[in-house]
A = this chain, B = another copy of it.
Amino acid sequence: MTHSIHPIDVILHKRDGLALTDAEIRAFIHAIVRRTPTRQLVTDAQIAAFLMAVFLRGLDPRELATLTEAMRFSGEVAYTEALNTFAIDKHSTGGVGDKTSLLIAPILASAGLAHPTSEGVPGIVVPMISGRSLGHTGGTLDKLETIPGFNTQLSFPEMRDVLKQYAAALIGQTPTIVPADRILYALRDHTGTVESPFLITASIMSKKLAEGLNALVLDVKVGSGAFMRTYEKSKLLAELMVETGEASGTRTAALLTTMDEPLGRFSGNWVEVWECVDIMKQHRHPMSADLIELSNILSGWMLHLAGRADTPEAGATLSDEILRSGAAYKAWLAIVEAQSGDITVFEDPTTQHKPQATRTITAHQTGYLAAMDCKQVGWAVQRLGAGRAKPGDPVSAHAGIEMHAKLGDKLEANQPIVTLFAEDPELLGEPEAMLRETLQISAAPPQFQPLIREIITKENLA
């Protein structure tokens, strides 16, 4: 805290529903990251009281932008700006089987490499900092780490070197990136202040903006597999994130996308890499159609924002061309090699991380795959060993599920719906019961939600 701003006053002002000044917000975040055990500039209890006050009182757009910026600059930033090119990333709020990052990074890298700047740097770079599996959702970092040797722990200078040559880098969060968020998140987690759209926005956007982005595309999930419980809450989150990104000078678009069933064919860790490698090698499995469609739409928006396509739709077409041409796969192999990964495992992905135990759930009657609680499916994947019960737990490379049907598919009795993979047969029982409980078969064809529900940009913000 500076000599003139005390944490208690910041708490009191927010408690009483006042808008905090920029100086108050910066001083509070500053105190959070500068405190030491012997120098408690602000206590855990004060941070918790602040978080609950923000949860219940909210933040106006200026306060949210300032909080996000203060958090963004609370630690090391990627300084991608030094490359003097167009930096872009995609962020998903988390889903089941959501592996679009593994396709989008090489697609955009390929587009970036195809058109270098006058300084010889790729015209688009993707400085992607990913997270780990959390709750019922998967984590890109856990998936990448099933590739032998793959090193996600690059420093920012190392990342910039990779970007300069390969246009994309896939790295993990480090303790020096947005340290304010790590402290705040740990407290939010046990003080009942996780689900605030304001605090979620500041948490996500501070980390994304620390990448030094010109543009950002957000995939905000709605439906039974989304973190946010209602469409309205997801939409509010999308709007807040777009507003906050734009306030920091980053072009930001958010797509509200349906997460009522796992995306694509596989959910897990290695199996998701396998699915993407198949797609990039032109082995398009019918169950991957929704994954390919969503990846192309998100890439399309990114290519559009990067000036490579006049419309997002033209961008999606370009994205699919890049995928089909083999250029994305080439970029993928280069990125993985640049990060010390063993690319020979992609030659026949089916031979890697073979599960020790499998079990298939079949339809008990003829009908349509009508509904599921996608969150419960995600928890079943976690319980198989692919996710973690708490931060720091190990995850299994082998565990996961393969869906054999999509919502609305006609099923004959005894037709396979889903296959479970685990490292030990004993791990199959509970997830099997969870899946059996949630998979619903109906006599009549069910109603669907479209994959893309709504698109939020600064042009259509209220």
Chain A residues engaging chain B, CB cutoff 8 angstroms: 8, 11-12, 15, 43-49, 51-53, 55-57, 187, 190-193
Chain B residues with CB below 8 A from A12, complex form: 192
B44 lies within 8 A of A192 (CB): no
Contacts A12-B192, A45-B191, A192-B11; A53 near B56 (Cβ below 8 A): yes
A87 to B49, CA, bound (A): 39
Pick from A48, A57, A193 the residue with the most CB of B within 10 Å.
A48
Chain B residues with CB below 8 A from A56, complex form: 15, 52-53, 56-57
Task: Tell me how far the C-beta of A10 lies from the nearest C-beta in chain B, rounded to whole angstroms.
Answer: 9
A187 lies within 8 A of B45 (CB): yes
Additional pairs, 4, CB under 8 Å, beyond known A44-B44, A44-B45, A49-B193 = A45-B191, A48-B49, A48-B52, A52-B56
A-B contact pairs, 10 of them (CB 8 A): A44-B45, A44-B48, A45-B45, A45-B48, A45-B191, A48-B49, A48-B52, A49-B192, A53-B56, A56-B56
Interface residues of chain A: helix, strand, loop or mixed (majority): helix
Q: Chain copies in the assembly?
A: 2
Nearest B residue to A44 via CB reads B45
Chain B residues with CB below 8 A from A191, complex form: 8, 11, 45-46, 48-49
A56 to B56, CA, bound (A): 8
A43 lies within 8 A of B44 (CB): yes
Pick from A8, A55, A190, A191 the residue with the most CB of B within 10 Å.
A191
Top 3 nearest A-B pairs (CB, nearest first) are A49-B191, A45-B48, A52-B52
B55 lies within 8 A of A190 (CB): no
Chain B residues with CB below 8 A from A49, complex form: 48-49, 51-52, 191-193
Partner of A190, one of B45, B53, B192, B193: B45
Chain B residues with CB below 8 A from A11, complex form: 52, 191-192
Chain B residues with CB below 8 A from A55, complex form: 15
Nearest B residue to A196 via CB reads B15
A57 to B44, CA, bound (A): 21
A15 to B57, CA, bound (A): 11
A57 to B55, CA, bound (A): 12
A388 to B52, CA, bound (A): 31
A135 to B47, CA, bound (A): 25
A51 to B191, CA, bound (A): 11
Nearest B residue to A6 via CB reads B190
